[in-house]
Structure 1
Amino acid sequence: MKKASIIALTLGTILTGCSAATSESVTPATVTTATSAPTPAPEVKAMSADEVNRFKEYATKLKGGTFITEAEIVNQNEAIITYADYDSLKKSKPDSTITKDDFNGYWGSGDAVNKTLMEEPIRLLREFPELNKVKLTLNHEKAHLIEVDRATTEDYFKVNLSEIHADKSNEKWRNEIVNKFFTKDERKKYIEKFVK
């Protein structure tokens, strides 16, 4: 019993001494947290008035341009393209000489719908470096909708559209996009992934 009392007293003294030493020699740790400033959003490029006008002219030259009833730039860098169904086309362009057979023959031939849905948004993004997004609706038998942005397109095709735009020889365009991806099989994959 005497031995247990001595051990308890010794331990008590040691622990008291340690806690006293600790409170005198140790200062509380300062916790620093690194807060980073929010990452700024990527700079949104706005299309100039001249580029918007050029876009409107260019849109008429897209595949099936005769059937386009809307070609607008919204939010300064997003294109909206609408290919009308036959009835809407006739209301929008009453002087048009296109017959219903012409309309159905154009879209019903080969792979015309898929070609337009895949190729024309890419063409627009290549041609207009400030353009960030293309929303294209093609109305034939049903409404086909594709909405793609520059980053998604570049990632999918593993290309830089600004570099392709800068190449005036069009070699990059042909070698990196057209020859690789503008095939029936590649269009089918693309359509399955992006068309709603």
Structure 2
Amino acid sequence: MISEKMNNYIDVLTGSAFIKSRKLEKGILEITYFNSYQEFKGMKSNTKITEGDYNNYFKTGNQTQKILVGEPARLLRKFPELTCVVMVLFNNKFFVERDNLNKLIGIDISSLSVEDTTWIENYANKYIVNKNGREQLFNQINKFSEDIFKIQANSDIKLNELLKWMNESIDKGELKITLDGSIVNVPSNEVSKEEKVRSKTIIYLVQGALRSIGDKAMSSLLESDIAHSIKEFFEGFLN
């Protein structure tokens, strides 16, 4: 059961007016946003929010990015009992696991505070407020996806196995993902800490997006034409 304190906090998240449901089970909090204005209006018939207001709110994609990047981290910072936050937005699920997030940003998210500005300095300004940073990250995923398709097309390795190998190679300092999202092999131990974090971030987002579609869909996807199926999936997720 979600506590009153957590419910009150969810009520003031970005886009909270459009939250359809929330549930908590074994440390995993799932928040689902309305999929359309019609669905929103159907459950909130007395709302003064118009369809134009709803469409304009999500029109540029900035709000969607802010929700996905910012709100799970806010919740994990505030509530240490949470192990994972799942955001369901326009039929796409976005998983943010506490341990993975801590590794990606190089700091315990729970240690950040609004009062001493560490939350603002070490997370909000870097990953939520900075528009260029958000756009760059999503552009990286597009370029990264293209390189993945090229690698997979020339081998028999399945995508999930390829991502696992890439994770291990990044940890060893033998592989990095550049600012434009390209996958580059490098001499051992010539990858900086910053490059490792950026590379792991992209891998993490790709794996999270794949997990979100479920085991059955994943199995079907990996047995199909991976290059086109995954590309279409990510284009739909990012647009």
TM surpasses 0.5: yes
Correspondence for 1:100: 51
Q: Shift in Å at residue 190 of structure 1?
A: 5.0
Choose the corresponding residue for 2:33, options 83, 89, 98. 83
Matched, 1:71 2:22: yes
Q: Calculate percent identity across the aligned residue pairs.
A: 28
Correspondence for 2:125: 179
Q: Secondary structure at the match of 1:148?
A: strand
Matches within 5 A, 1:1-196: 52-75=3-26, 77-84=27-34, 85-109=36-60, 111-139=62-90, 143-164=91-112, 167=113, 169-182=115-128, 183-188=130-135, 190-191=137-138, 192=141, 193=202, 194=205, 196=209
| Structure 1 runs of 4+ with >4 Å offset | none
The size of the alignment, in residue pairs, is: 141
Distance 1:74 1:107, change over 3 A: same
For structure 1, list consecutive stretches of 5 or more residues without a partner in the other structure. Answer: 1-48
Instruction: Please give the TM-score of this superposition, normalised by the length of structure 1.
Output: 0.65
Instruction: Please give the TM-score of this superposition, normalised by the length of structure 2.
Output: 0.54
Alignment partners' CA distance in 2, 1:144 and 1:190: 18
For structure 2, list consecutive stretches of 5 or more residues without a partner in the other structure. Answer: 142-201, 210-239
Distance 1:97 1:168, change over 3 A: closer
Q: Which has the larger radius of gyration?
A: 1
Q: Is the 8 A contact 2:69 2:127 kept in 1?
A: no
Q: Secondary structure at the match of 2:3?
A: helix
Q: Is the 8 A contact 1:71 1:79 kept in 2?
A: yes
